[in-house]
Amino acid sequence: MDSTRFFRSGPWLAAVCFALAGGALSGAGVAGEPAAEVPRDELGAATVAHQLELLGKLIPDAEAVKATSAFDPVVFAAHVPDDNALTPERVALGRKLYFDKRLSADGTVSCATCHDVTRGFTDRLPGSMGIGRQVGKRNAPTVLNTALLQTMFWDGRSPSLDHQARQPILNPIEMGMSSEAEALKAIAGDAEYQEAFQKAYGRKMNYEDLGRAIGAFERTLVFLDSPFRRFLAGDASALSAEAQAGWELFNGKARCAACHPMNPSNPLGSDNRFHNIGVSAKRQNFEGLAQKALTALEKDASEQNLDELAIGTDLSELGRFMVTRNRADIGAFRTPLILNIGITAPYMHDGSLATLWDVIDHYNKGGEANLYLDGGIEPLALSEAEINQLVALLFSLTDVRFAEQNQREFERQQAAAQQNRPVRDEGLALRRTLPYEDRVMGAKKSDQ
Amino acid sequence: MKNTSLRYGAGPALAGMICLLFTAAGLVGCGDSNGTPPGGVAIALASSATAAESGTVTMGCCDGKNTVTVSKELAGQPLADALMDQWKRDHPEANWVTEQREKHALLPPADNSDLLQGAQGKEHTYGNYTHLDLLTWARETEKFAAEGSRIFHSADALGSSIAVSCDMCHPHAANTHPETYPKFQPQLGRVALLRDMIDWCIENPVRGEHLDPNGPTMRALEAYIMAQRKGVPMNYGKH
Amino acid sequence: MAIFKSIETKYREERESLFRGLQNLDRRSFLKVSGAALAATGGLAAPHSFQPVTVAADADAPESKPAFRFAYISDSHLYERDVNDRFVRGLLRAVDDVNSLDPQPDFVFYGGDLAQLGQEKELDLGAQILKNLKAPLRIMVGEHDWYLDMGQKWQDLYGEPTYSFDHKGVHFVVLNSVVEKDFWTARGMTPMERMMTVAGLDNGLQSPFSVGEPQRQWLQEDLAKLPDDARVIVFSHSPLYKLYKPWNFWTDDAEEVQAILKRFKQVVVIHGHTHQLLTNRIGNIHFHGLLSTAWPWPYAPEGMPELTVEMSRPDPFNPNDGCGDGEVAVHPDGLIDKVYNLWNRNPITVNRNYLASWGKQNVPPKPNRPSY
């Protein structure tokens, strides 16, 4: 385990806490902070008080707006909507709303439930769990560093953080409010809120401002200070040799950089475009689903319906197609950002890849062949050593403030990967076998 | 061996006579190679026509070592041309520049003859160019680009593991647009120069080995690509 | 600073445009749409076929139902599998695409250049893969198939390269239009050297393509018994017009061939070799190019037909971008809709009205990434 320079190790402690944490949670074996230290609610999210405390330590109040200066100011400004300039009042209001469970129909779910400060601002579940313990089809993306994404949600159906924040509150599987009015009613009685909205936006509380405030808060969640970034800034000792080799591969043989570019103007590692890389393509009948989707959308193509279809039905697998109806977008999802990826397992739109080793295995074999597979995905012929190097690089993308968590995750994932590599396929990876061949040639293979 | 017509003397008549001699007589040939200096006038005659291909005759070369085989029907200048072609093929390194020019329409380097104008030139040692200087520069520059053309068109020289050469997507270096560099190259995820993209192309579509950016292969390729784009205005950042 | 339309507004606009388009569809196309409503003014393919369900935005052109369809695959340039897996993968994908068409086309046409260097193993590999097509195969020769052994292996596999056949009242002619004057004997080239010369698109040593006098004679006789209003489709590997000589996008005796075809009311020529979306019309002849399954060619720097609306410049990150296969819908009047099934892009249809109206109607979508 070479890439441990910045990570404090404590494997036996982690094991104990892992066991405890496993006991505390309902069925999803995840490791957040040691359970003994973190009080959690019935959905597994850390309590609001605890999350706020941690957040305060991570970003002291005064620093909140300043944190965003880590981004290129011109690029950052271009991503902030005109009607929602960043002010301390708006950030404070947004923070309050983010942690407020009153915004859910049964008072158990807030944004922080699925985007938990203690769990990499996600929930470490394949599909998120909402009110009434309903499980959605999509994996909760992290909120960290989302200020520079061009679209929100895996299928990009939301153009901004402000807009995105308003959707889950109304989704029957997530927070389950039946209407905007109902959501507002839940907090209208709170005088503090009335005053906060007035101070932040100079007008009476309304639903769009609610979204804006949450968006403003989320824009301050900038966590870029990773060993990788320090390495790029000139500290050659910040990355292990293994991770440095991984960075070479990232830009070379592994072909990652084309969809996951990281540069000073936009360090997120997402090209903001939509690609079908074949995750879970094996299980899909894309044609049938596409026909179903077109029918459903003909009946009702509203924002609300799209949101419900995307989260709650098997049409979720169609991804971007639901938004654009372009054939090339069937099964395509937006390239996620890869910063802090070490602490945001499991991976992909449906959370079906449990470890980063699985992720690399998936790419190595050329994704899952399907009629709509993005043409840039091809078998990579990476060796085991190279896969380890790439994983080392990916774990080095985590902000140093999460170093402990990152290390624990690394160990957990490594242990799991050593047991089992479910998506691995060496024959495809090394290009010995060709996709479509069996289907085209039938039972007999071509002989030369 | 610069010039076919000079080599073969006073034109078709002589060549014709030589041809007749060869075909008429079954003369014993050169076989051995001791000491006959290359370029010597005496033409060592070959052994009798080989049975391998009917309608052809094998002739010995004046270097005493090599032989060439040509169709019996040829005579005169076409015979001389055929012999020249064969010699060229056996010695691919010889007129490779002309060959590249012929095969791939290499654009010549810029005309610098205005350097020979202007009175100040003569008074300034570092500016006092002669047409021979210009000739040397042009030859060297063209050779560099021709070498690039040779590599560009050869999957082997590129080190491709799937027998793909650059001209398969870029005939005559079309669509390489070197005048648009530096620019943000999405495939690399960062700002790139021409040679970064050449390297990427070699590693990906061509599936060859990474090229040293300062090595002769990369430099020659860059030279050829830029040469083919002669006259196009620079426009960095254009996608 | 971007202006964001709400998703709802965008969808309302798209729905409106859909219903506007729907009014012009005949019943058969409408059935496809009613179960599968959609918008996207670029034209969306129902997943089961390449055929876009709505045609281009200005759907005011006179509609006509196609009489029949055939699919096409072209220019696979196969090497042996262990030399190059990518081109094999391309052909497999194309065969897979065609086999999953529903309904199946009447036949599949192969546009030439099955092998890259004309070697036996390459041709055998290609032939074997093509055997797995469900629909019947009609095949044409390309220069890459021919110049290693002057077509010996090809003829063993597929017989005469020049032939004609009739299908549902349309007369199809298949030419060997890659005949080159002998440039190799004088140079004493070996067969492989000859093949490598022809294989280089920009190799100036080779001769321009031609159909040649014997084949022109044959063509004249073959067409002699047809009336002037007969429906004729000519398959040719080289374009049968003169586009760009340095790349042999060229047929030297194009004018003579066109003269033979001149008397017909309209003739369609479908050609390979150019590996790109290409459209032209000369007098009564409508020319359409085929896509390759192996790699795309860039557009020629000069000589481009005005009617061609180029496909967007391919992205090298996707080795299949700019490649694909497709379908041809033959209408009762003998004109065709040519569907370019570009892989990982929306398909593009060049509607028969586009050529019939000399480019005024049914203009295909313009590229956003032009060729350099």
C129 lies within 8 A of chain A by CB: yes
Tell me if ipTM is over 0.90: no
Q: How many structural domains comprise chain B?
A: 2
Are residues C79 and B162, on separate chains, in Cβ contact within 8 Å?
yes
Nearest CA-CA distance, residue C348 and chain B, Å: 22
Is C271 within 8 Å of C287 (Cβ atoms)?
yes
Mean pLDDT across A208-232: 94
Would the pLDDT of A113 be above 50?
yes
A271 lies within 8 A of chain B by CB: yes
Mean pLDDT across B48-68: 68
Q: pLDDT tens digit string along C106-139?
A: 999 999 999 999 999 999 999 999 999 999 999 9
pLDDT band at C370 (very low <50, low <70, confident <90, very high): confident
Domains delineated in chain C: 68-356 (3.60.21.10)
Cα(A308)–Cα(B191) distance, integer angstroms: 40
Considering only CB atoms, which chain B residues are within 8 Å of C369? 239
Considering only CB atoms, which chain A residues are within 8 Å of C93? 436
Are residues B175 and C86, on separate chains, in Cβ contact within 8 Å?
no
Are residues A258 and B210, on separate chains, in Cβ contact within 8 Å?
no
Give the pLDDT confidence score for residue A11 in this predicted structure.
54
Q: pLDDT tens digit string along C289-320?
A: 999 999 999 999 999 999 999 999 999 999 99
Nearest CA-CA distance, residue C67 and chain A, Å: 26
Give the pLDDT confidence score for residue C210 in this predicted structure.
96
Mean pLDDT across A244-252: 95
Looking at per-residue confidence, does A445 or A86 come out higher?
Answer: A86
Nearest to C274 by CA among C322, C346, C335: C322
| Whether residue B28 sits in one domain with residue B66 | yes
* Helices C254-261, C213-224: crossing angle, 10 deg rounding: 10
| Whether residue B89 sits in one domain with residue B20 | yes
Give the pLDDT confidence score for residue A435 in this predicted structure.
73
Considering only CB atoms, which chain A residues are within 8 Å of C44? 325-327
Mean pLDDT across B159-181: 95
Would the pLDDT of C265 be above 60?
yes
Domain at B190, CATH number: 1.10.760.10
Task: Please count the residue pairs, one from chain A and one from chain B, whose beta carbons lie less than 8 angstroms apart.
Answer: 25
Mean pLDDT across B151-169: 95
Give the pLDDT confidence score for residue C5 in this predicted structure.
52
Chain A residues 62-101 with a CB less than 8 Å from chain C: 78, 81-82
Q: Cα C303 to chain center, whole Å? A: 19
Give the pLDDT confidence score for residue B72 in this predicted structure.
80
Looking at per-residue confidence, does B224 or B55 come out higher?
Answer: B224
C45 by DSSP, 3-state: which? strand
Q: What is the dihedral of CA C357, C363, C369, C372, to 10 degrees?
A: 0
Nearest CA-CA distance, residue A376 and chain B, Å: 10
Give the pLDDT confidence score for residue C311 in this predicted structure.
94
Nearest CA-CA distance, residue C208 and chain B, Å: 14
Map chain A to HEC letters: CCCCCCCCCCHHHHHHHHHHHHHHCCCCCCCCCCCCCCCECCCCCECHHHHHHHHHHHCCHHHHHHHHHHCCHHHHHHHCCCCCCCCHHHHHHHHHHHCCHHHCCCCCCCHHHHCEHHHCCECCCCCCECHHHCECCCCCCCCCCHHHCCCECCCCCECCHHHHHHHHHHCCCCCCCCCHHHHHHHHHCCHHHHHHHHHHHCCCCCHHHHHHHHHHHHHCCCCCCCHHHHHHCCCCCCCCHHHHHHHHHHHCCCCCCCCCCCECCECCCCCCCEECCCCCHHHCCHHHHHHHHHHHHHHCCCHHHHHHHHHHCHHHHHECHHHHCCHHHCCEEECCCCCCHHHCCCECCCCCECCHHHHHHHHHCCCCCCCCCCCCCCCCCCCHHHHHHHHHHHHCCCCHHHHHHHHHHHHHHHHHHHHCCCCCCHHHHCCCCCCCHHHHHCCCCCCC
Would the pLDDT of C160 be above 70?
yes
Are residues B203 and A261, on separate chains, in Cβ contact within 8 Å?
no
Nearest to A365 by CA among A403, A409, A421: A421
Domains delineated in chain A: 39-219 (1.10.760.10), 227-438 (1.10.760.10)
Map C307-346 to HEC letters: CCCCCCCCCCCCCCCCCEEEEEEECCCCCEEEEEEECCCC
Question: Which candidate in C190, C195, C202 is best for mutational testing of the B interface (most B CBs within 10 A)?
Answer: C202
Give the pLDDT confidence score for residue A285 in this predicted structure.
82
Would the pLDDT of A226 be above 70?
yes
Rg (CA), chain C: 21
Q: pLDDT tens digit string along A283-322?
A: 778 888 888 899 998 898 888 999 999 999 999 999 999 9
Asked if residue B234 is part of any domain, the answer here is: no
Is B217 within 8 Å of B211 (Cβ atoms)?
yes
Are residues A271 and B188, on separate chains, in Cβ contact within 8 Å?
no
Considering only CB atoms, which chain A residues are within 8 Å of B204? 255
Are residues B163 and C83, on separate chains, in Cβ contact within 8 Å?
yes
Mean pLDDT across A318-347: 93
Would the pLDDT of A2 be above 60?
no
Looking at per-residue confidence, does A42 or B231 come out higher?
Answer: B231
Q: Which residues is B200 bridged to in the sheet?
A: none
Q: φ, ψ for residue A251 (rounded to 5)?
A: -90, -5
Asked if residue B189 is part of any domain, the answer here is: yes
Are residues A258 and B187, on separate chains, in Cβ contact within 8 Å?
yes
Exposed, middle or buried: residue A41 (CB in 10 Å: 0-12, 13-18, 19+)?
A: middle
Considering only CB atoms, which chain C residues are within 8 Å of B168? 201, 295
Cα(A144)–Cα(A226) distance, integer angstroms: 13
**Entry field: residues in chain B:** 239
Sign of CA dihedral A166, A172, A176, A179: positive
Nearest CB to A287 within list C47, C93, C315: C47
Nearest to A9 by CA among A409, A412, A408: A408
Would the pLDDT of A443 be above 50?
no
C339 lies within 8 A of chain A by CB: no
A330 lies within 8 A of chain C by CB: yes
Per-position b or e across A317-330, b if 16+ CB within 10 A of its CB: bbbbbbbbbbbbbb
C365 by DSSP, 3-state: which? coil
Per-position b or e across B20-40, b if 16+ CB within 10 A of its CB: eebeeeeeeebeeeeebeeee
Are residues C316 and B170, on separate chains, in Cβ contact within 8 Å?
no
Map A304-341 to HEC letters: HHHHHHHHHCHHHHHECHHHHCCHHHCCEEECCCCCCH
Considering only CB atoms, which chain B residues are within 8 Å of C83? 162-163
Chain C residues 308-337 with a CB less than 8 Å from chain A: 315, 317-321
| Whether residue B139 sits in one domain with residue B64 | no
Question: Which candidate in A440, A441, A445 is best for mutational testing of the C interface (most C CBs within 10 A)?
Answer: A440
C92 lies within 8 A of chain A by CB: yes
Is A94 within 8 Å of A55 (Cβ atoms)?
no
Give the pLDDT confidence score for residue A174 in this predicted structure.
94
| Whether residue B46 sits in one domain with residue B83 | yes
Are residues B188 and A251, on separate chains, in Cβ contact within 8 Å?
yes
A81 lies within 8 A of chain B by CB: no
Nearest to C36 by CA among C24, C26, C48: C48
Chain A's closest residue to C95, CA to CA, is A440
Would the pLDDT of B64 be above 80?
no
Would the pLDDT of B52 be above 70?
no
Mean pLDDT across B55-74: 78
Are residues B204 and A251, on separate chains, in Cβ contact within 8 Å?
no
Asked if residue B153 is part of any domain, the answer here is: yes
Give the pLDDT confidence score for residue B76 in this predicted structure.
83
Token output for C275: 């590996």
Cα(A256)–Cα(B186) distance, integer angstroms: 11
pLDDT band at B169 (very low <50, low <70, confident <90, very high): very high
Nearest CA-CA distance, residue C306 and chain A, Å: 28
A25 lies within 8 A of chain C by CB: no
Q: pLDDT tens digit string along A159-191?
A: 999 999 999 999 999 999 999 999 999 999 999
Mean pLDDT across C337-356: 94
Beta-carbon count within 10 A of C63 CB: 13
Cα(C8)–Cα(A307) distance, integer angstroms: 12
Give the structural domain span for B187.
Answer: 114-228
Per-position b or e across A76-105, b if 16+ CB within 10 A of its CB: beebbbeebebeebbbbbbbbbbbbbebbb
Give the pLDDT confidence score for residue A26 in this predicted structure.
39
* Peptide bond before residue C66 is cis, with ω within 30 degrees of 0: no
Nearest CA-CA distance, residue C311 and chain B, Å: 14
Mean pLDDT across C261-273: 96
Cα(A3)–Cα(A407) distance, integer angstroms: 9
Beta-carbon count within 10 A of A8 CB: 9
β-pair type (C108-110, C68-73): parallel
Q: pLDDT tens digit string along A348-361?
A: 999 999 999 999 99
pLDDT band at A219 (very low <50, low <70, confident <90, very high): very high
Nearest CB to A295 within list C8, C35, C45: C35
Give the pLDDT confidence score for residue B54 in this predicted structure.
66
Give the pLDDT confidence score for residue C312 in this predicted structure.
93
Give the pLDDT confidence score for residue C6 in this predicted structure.
53
Considering only CB atoms, which chain A residues are within 8 Å of C7? 157-158, 302-303, 306, 323
Average pLDDT, chain C: 86
Beta-carbon count within 10 A of C181 CB: 10
Average pLDDT, chain B: 78
Are residues C315 and B187, on separate chains, in Cβ contact within 8 Å?
yes
| Whether residue B149 sits in one domain with residue B56 | no
Average pLDDT, chain A: 87
pLDDT band at C261 (very low <50, low <70, confident <90, very high): very high
Are residues A448 and C125, on separate chains, in Cβ contact within 8 Å?
yes
| Whether residue B218 sits in one domain with residue B158 | yes
Asked if residue B161 is part of any domain, the answer here is: yes
Non-local CB neighbours of C257 within 8 Å, separated by 6+ positions:
C211, C216, C219, C240, C251
The H or E element that residue C172 is part of is: strand C170-174
Would the pLDDT of B57 be above 70?
yes
Looking at per-residue confidence, does C338 or B11 come out higher?
Answer: C338
Q: Cα B169 to chain center, whole Å? A: 22
Are residues B171 and C297, on separate chains, in Cβ contact within 8 Å?
yes
The H or E element that residue C233 is part of is: strand C232-236
Nearest CB to B172 within list C187, C246, C313: C246
Considering only CB atoms, which chain A residues are within 8 Å of C317? 255, 258, 375-376
Give the pLDDT confidence score for residue B46 in this predicted structure.
42
Token output for A439: 């289907």
Looking at per-residue confidence, does C59 or A47 come out higher?
Answer: A47
Beta-carbon count within 10 A of C182 CB: 9
Cα(C134)–Cα(C123) distance, integer angstroms: 20
Would the pLDDT of A65 be above 80?
no
Considering only CB atoms, which chain A residues are within 8 Å of B186? 258, 261, 271
Chain C's closest residue to A75, CA to CA, is C1
Q: Which amino acid is at C268?
A: V
Token output for C102: 């529903």
Are residues C97 and A302, on separate chains, in Cβ contact within 8 Å?
no
Give the pLDDT confidence score for residue A141 in this predicted structure.
96
Chain C's closest residue to B83, CA to CA, is C187
Would the pLDDT of A19 be above 90?
no
Question: Which candidate in A232, A250, A263 is best for mutational testing of the B interface (most B CBs within 10 A)?
Answer: A263
Token output for A354: 């449990």
Nearest CA-CA distance, residue A378 and chain C, Å: 9
Cα(A361)–Cα(A433) distance, integer angstroms: 16
Would the pLDDT of B17 be above 50?
no
β-pair type (C137-139, C348-350): unpaired
Asked if residue B107 is part of any domain, the answer here is: no
A93-102, A299-308, C49-58: which has the highest mean pLDDT?
Answer: A93-102
Asked if residue B103 is part of any domain, the answer here is: no
Lowest pLDDT segment from B22-31, B107-116, B183-192: B22-31
Give the pLDDT confidence score for residue C63 in this predicted structure.
64
Q: pLDDT tens digit string along C208-249?
A: 999 999 999 999 999 999 999 999 999 999 999 999 999 999
A434 lies within 8 A of chain B by CB: no
Map chain B to HEC letters: CCCHHHHCCCHHHHHHHHHHHHHHCCCCCCCCCCCCCCCCCCCCCCCCCCCCCCCEEEEECCCCCCEEEEECCCCHHHHHHHHHHHHHHHCCCCCHHHHHHHHHCCCCCCCCHHHHCCHHHHHCHHHCCCHHHHHHHHHHHHHHHHHHHHHHCCHHHHCCCCCCCHHHCCHHHCCCCHHHCCEEECCCCEEECHHHHHHHHHHCCCCCCCCCCCCHHHHHHHHHHHHHCCCCCCCCCCC
Mean pLDDT across A356-385: 92
| Whether residue B184 sits in one domain with residue B81 | no
Are residues B204 and A260, on separate chains, in Cβ contact within 8 Å?
no
Give the pLDDT confidence score for residue A67 in this predicted structure.
72
pLDDT band at B56 (very low <50, low <70, confident <90, very high): confident
